[in-house]
Amino acid sequence: MKAAVLTEWQRIELQEVPVPEIGEDECLIEVTYAGVCGSDVHIYKGHHPTAVTPVIPGHEFTGRVAKASTDLYPHLTAGTRVVAEPLISCGECAACLEGHVHVCRRLKLLGIHTDGGFAQYIKVPAAKVIPISDVLSDRAAALAEPFAVAFHVNRQAEVRHGDRVLVVGGGPIGMVVGIVAKQSGAAKVVFTELNEDRLAVIRSFGFEGVNPQTTDVNAYAEQATDGAGFDVVFEVSGSQPGLLSATKLCKIKGTVVLVGFPGRRPELEVMDIIFKELRVVGSRVYTLQDFKKTVRMLEELAVEGRYRLEALVSDTRSLEQLEEAIQTMIRGENTGKILIDYGLAQPE
């Protein structure tokens, strides 16, 4: 099969490799689409602390079941359209023993520590494979993983009906965080984002988008929240100005969720946290339950048609163009998600 192999940092080679052999608790998936993630860029550059080479990257993928034990997994017959939750937990550490397997001390991911979805086939533990309904297009299904991130982020925030929500950073993850916040009952979702093309997409989804380079965000927030500040602020940019604005624009007793990776020692306005009694929480990946619920939510969104989910995808590339796609993301030129297309998709 064809696979894009990260042979060493900053080098991806298209190789012919054997189709993975599966054990009885595994499922072989023929990939139809795979999303390129910010963390793939991180891995490519060699900046991920635990990533290994050589590896086939890619942890956001959708496809069809090619092979699985139908005695053990009768719902995974050949051809079934599926997505998969890509976490690999050790099952033995303190976090795993307490049932928090998604924050396992030795957490590994398909596509970072073992072979992932930038190949024609991927093998996945069968228990992690989730069938999808036909209401969901292949391209929308490829967004299940980032949506699961957003689903967990919103659960960490405990978003309530009527909340006014600020998303700092409107890249691909920020956009889905905002959509899930709205689905979770938020009355208003405001984005701050520097890239005007991204702001245009954000506004096309019916959200308010503010460019901090051209608009006084403090004044805007004041007016948007009747002077109270936002109930929930999602810091998705990972930038220093973003972090400082997150605590500043959050209301008294509000919640700030840290999602973006800000580098090693960012500055935080601790006095905001103390004086306003802010709840500042982290968010890491998702649970298997989150992932399953996310698929149902995406199916519901697809049926409602309230958001054109495919508009979150700004570019489509072939597997041969993966490295070029990563370079595009390094230059920050992509408006939304870049998908790798394996040329197998259903007609839409």
Sites of contact with Zn ion (CB under 5 A): 37, 89-90, 93, 96, 104
**Closest distance of CB 89 from Zn ion, Å:** 5
**Strand, helix or coil for residue 201:** helix
Closest CA to 145 of 84, 103, 104: 84
Nearer to Zn ion, 177 or 224 (CB): 177
Report the nearest approach of Zn ion to the CB of residue 260 (Å): 13
Minimum CB distance to Zn ion smaller for 37 or for 256? 37
Q: DSSP secondary-structure letter at 103?
A: G
Separation CA 110–CA 152 (nearest Å): 19
Question: Based on CB atoms, which residue is closest to Zn ion, 6 or 76?
Answer: 6
3-class state of residue 73 by DSSP: coil
Distance CA 192, CA 15 (A): 41
63 Cβ neighbours under 8 A, 6+ residues apart: 29, 30, 31, 32, 33, 81, 82, 117, 122, 342, 344
And the tokens for 194? Answer: 């520097």
> Least distance (Å) from Zn ion to the CB of residue 326?
13
Write out the two tokens for 19: 């189709």
CB nearer to Zn ion: pick between 97 and 303: 97
131: preceding bond cis by omega (within 30 degrees): no
Q: How far is the CB of 92 from Zn ion (least distance, A)?
A: 6
- At 166, which amino acid appears? L
147 or 230: CB nearest Zn ion: 147
| Residue 16: CB minimum distance to Zn ion, A | 26
- If the CB atoms of residues 212 and 262 are measured against Zn ion, the closer one turns out to be 262
Q: Which is nearer to Zn ion, 106 or 293 (CB)?
A: 106
Least distance in Å: CB of 21 to Zn ion? Answer: 26
Strand partners, 114: 110
CB of 74 to Zn ion, least distance (A): 30
Query: DSSP of 279-299, one letter per residue?
Result: EEEE--S--HHHHHHHHHHHH
Q: Which is nearer to Zn ion, 149 or 301 (CB)?
A: 149
Residue indicated by tokens 């041969």: 320
Short-list 14, 1, 25, CA closest to 324: 14
d(CA 132, CA 183): 20
Paired sense of beta strands 279-282 and 250-258, if any: parallel
Amino acid at 210: V
* CB of 57 vs Zn ion, minimal distance in Å: 10
Closer to Zn ion by Cβ: residue 191 or 286: 286
Half-sphere CA count of 127, side-chain side, radius 13 A: 6
Per DSSP, helices labelled H in 74-163 are 94-97, 138-141, 144-157
In whole angstroms, the minimum distance from the beta carbon of 179 to Zn ion comes to 16
